[in-house]
């Protein structure tokens, strides 16, 4: 049990670091990268190109999922997690030192894209490994809770990212554009050092060790996944869609939307996202505990249902410009997200058998992030420009919910729900 807790803490810290680094990029892309790296374009085109660099990492994530999943199923989860954290840290620190378009011309956006690809590759291998290390160490009656705690790393990472940006956006605009935006990227070095120190001290997953001892390690896990279970990969991808659309619309797209179309400040929007994020840090573990009491699937589906209907209320409340009502909209949306995101990690982890689990989960999940993570801010920006209001965007989010709900209905865990005795032992 002590080892399981150490693994949980190490995975949570590593996940927090990874997501912090990922989200500071998304925030900077939404707030300032269009001016710094794409100044020669029309403002709308510059914004779309800036968000496109955010999306590029999502395209790289399935490649990272295949690459790190392959070696995670071949040589172990732990070594891959150390490597993914190191890559993400190096890329993020380099971004903080990157010259802008005004300094080196077209080389600046090209280097920006290259760094973003490295970030995407590393995150593609990070998530599946962090979840598996935790739930495979956990007792059957605690797996849902352990998986949910790992998913709070998204909230902790976004919380840290927004807090840092909330501070640097208090600088005069010229100072923020000159050097202030770099501070969150450079600070990542300290977080990476802490994450690596913790991660190097944990033991390998017992379920992977059992696969090794039974001599069942696959030579080409990705081939096995697509040969045996291509339908599961597709269903997992689609089941994630609404989660990604909801989260990235609320945490990335809303920043620009609030400033340009609602007429509130950058700081106000960051504060609202911060409040929603704080809610997830509390709500996700509580929903995780619930999934150890009942089946995970009903909790997952309930969250998707909420994310399907709530975008209409969220946008309507945003347009009031009333801080209290805007806050209610964010909290409602993030509550539905929390229910879904709490059930997802352990539910997804045990869709595939242990010998191809890292690969299967990473590929299915990261393919979902391409559709549900990188594209939504761009699609929403285009829809807003074409229609002039938020109605089409809300319907787009609702459609994503319908697709995810239908896909999740066909997925099931293999053998991990606790027995009645194990449920009774959960406190």
CATH class for the region spanning 2-425: mainly alpha
- According to the model, what pLDDT value does residue 223 have? 87
pLDDT recorded at residue 415:
58
Most confident of 16-25, 174-183, 408-417: 174-183
pLDDT score recorded for residue 420? 44
More confident residue, 50 or 244: 244
Least confident of 22-26, 275-279, 398-402, 412-416: 412-416
Place of tokens 């840090």: 281
Residue 43: what pLDDT? 66
User: Which has more pLDDT, 161 or 349?
Assistant: 349
User: Quick check: 107 pLDDT over 60?
Assistant: yes
Q: If you ran DSSP here, which 8-state letter would residue 142 be given?
A: G
Once rounded to an integer, what is the mean pLDDT over residues 356-365?
90
**Rounded Cα distance, 294 and 309, in Å:** 24
Q: End-to-end CA distance of the chain, in Å?
A: 15
Q: pLDDT tens, 298-341?
A: 999 999 999 999 999 999 999 998 999 999 999 999 999 999 99
Phi, psi of 75 (to 5 degrees): -120, -10
| Angle between helix 107-137 and 2-31 (nearest 10) | 160
Q: What is the mean pLDDT of residues 409-426?
A: 60
The CA distances from residue 294 to 57, 338, 419, in Å, are 36, 16, 11
pLDDT of 49 > 80? The answer is no
Report which of residues 15 and 65 the model is more confident about: 65
Query: Mean pLDDT highest for which of 105-109, 245-249, 353-357?
Result: 245-249
Q: What is the pTM of this model?
A: 0.83
Between helices 376-387 and 391-409, what is the axis angle to 10°? Answer: 140
| CB atoms inside a 10 Å sphere around CB 363 | 29
Nearest-angstrom CA–CA distance, 230 and 212: 24
* CA distances, 297 to each of 121, 341, 401, 411 (Å): 29, 11, 15, 9
**What backbone phi and psi angles, to 5 degrees, belong to 294?**
-125, 175
- The pLDDT of residue 419 is 42
CA 113/CA 184 separation, integer angstroms: 19
pLDDT at 50: 67
3-class SS at 179?
coil
In the chain, what percentage of residues exceed pLDDT 90? 28
What are the pLDDT digits (tens) for 2-12? 677 778 887 88
User: At what angle are helices 43-74 and 77-96 packed, to 10 degrees?
Assistant: 150
- Whole-number mean pLDDT of the chain? 85
> Rounded distance, CA 425 to CA 140, Å?
11
Task: Give pLDDT, residue 244.
Answer: 92
Mean pLDDT across 128-149: 88
Q: What is the pLDDT of residues 205-244, one digit of tens each?
A: 777 778 878 877 778 888 888 888 889 999 999 999 999 9
Going by pLDDT thresholds of 50, 70 and 90, the confidence category of residue 426 is: very low
Cβ atoms 321, 262 nearer than 8 A: yes
> Residue 371: what pLDDT?
84
Structure token digits, residue 249:
């619309």
- Cα-flanking dihedrals φ and ψ of residue 372, to 5°? -100, -10
For residue 427, pLDDT beyond 60: no
Averaged pLDDT for residues 31-59: 71
Name 173's Cβ contacts closer than 8 Å, sequence gap at least 6. Answer: none
User: What is the predicted pLDDT for the residue at 422?
Assistant: 41
Q: Are 69 and 222 in contact (CB under 8 A)?
A: yes
On the question of pLDDT at 423 being above 60, the answer is no
Q: Which residues, other chains included, contact 345 with Cβ-Cβ below 8 Å and sequence gap of 6+?
A: 131, 135, 147, 148, 150, 151
Q: Comparing 37-51, 164-178, 217-231, 254-268, which segment has the lowest mean pLDDT?
A: 37-51
Residue 307 to residue 315: CA distance in whole angstroms? 13
Per residue in 60-97, pLDDT (tens digit) is: 888 998 899 888 888 888 888 888 888 888 888 898 89
């Amino acid at each position: 049990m002590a080892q399981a807790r150490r693994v949980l803490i190490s995975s949570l810290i590593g996940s927090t670091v990874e997501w912090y680094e990922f989200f500071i990029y998304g925030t900077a892309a939404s707030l300032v990268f269009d001016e710094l790296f794409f100044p020669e374009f029309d403002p709308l085109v510059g914004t779309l190109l800036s968000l496109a660099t955010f999306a590029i990492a999502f395209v790289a994530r399935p490649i990272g999922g295949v690459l790190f999943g392959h070696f995670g199923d071949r040589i172990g989860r732990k070594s891959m997690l150390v490597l993914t954290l190191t890559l993400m840290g190096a890329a993020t620190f380099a971004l903080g030192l990157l010259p802008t378009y005004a300094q080196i011309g077209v080389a600046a956006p090209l280097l920006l894209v290259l760094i973003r690809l490295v970030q995407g590759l590393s995150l593609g291998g990070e998530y599946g490994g962090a979840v598996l290390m935790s739930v495979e160490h956990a007792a059957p009656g605690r797996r849902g809770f352990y998986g949910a705690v790992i998913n709070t790393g998204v909230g902790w990472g976004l919380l840290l990212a927004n807090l840092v940006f909330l501070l640097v956006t208090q600088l005069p605009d010229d100072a923020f554009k000159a050097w202030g935006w770099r501070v969150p990227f450079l600070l990542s070095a300290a977080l990476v050092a802490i994450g690596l120190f913790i991660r190097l001290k944990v033991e390998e997953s017992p379920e992977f060790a059992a696969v090794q001892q039974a001599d069942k390690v696959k030579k080409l896990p990705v081939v096995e996944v697509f040969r045996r279970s291509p339908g599961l990969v597709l269903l997992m991808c689609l089941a994630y869609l609404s989660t990604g659309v909801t989260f990235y619309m609320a945490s990335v797209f809303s920043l620009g939307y609030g400033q340009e179309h609602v007429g509130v400040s950058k700081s106000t929007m960051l504060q609202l996202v911060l409040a929603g994020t704080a809610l997830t840090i509390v709500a996700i573990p509580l929903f995780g505990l619930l999934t150890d009491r009942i089946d995970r699937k009903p909790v997952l589906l309930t969250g998707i249902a909420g994310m399907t209907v709530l975008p209409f209320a969220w946008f309507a409340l945003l347009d009031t410009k009333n801080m209290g009502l805007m806050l209610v909209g964010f909290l409602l949306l993030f509550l539905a997200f929390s229910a879904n995101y709490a059930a997802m990690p352990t539910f997804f982890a045990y869709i595939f058998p242990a010998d191809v689990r890292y690969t299967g989960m990473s590929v299915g999940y990261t393919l979902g992030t391409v559709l549900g993570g990188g594209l939504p801010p761009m699609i929403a920006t285009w829809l807003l420009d074409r229609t002039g209001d938020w109605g089409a965007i809300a319907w787009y989010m609702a459609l994503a919910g319908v697709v995810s709900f239908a896909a999740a209905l066909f997925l099931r865990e293999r053998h991990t729900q606790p027995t009645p005795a194990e449920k009774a032992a959960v406190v």
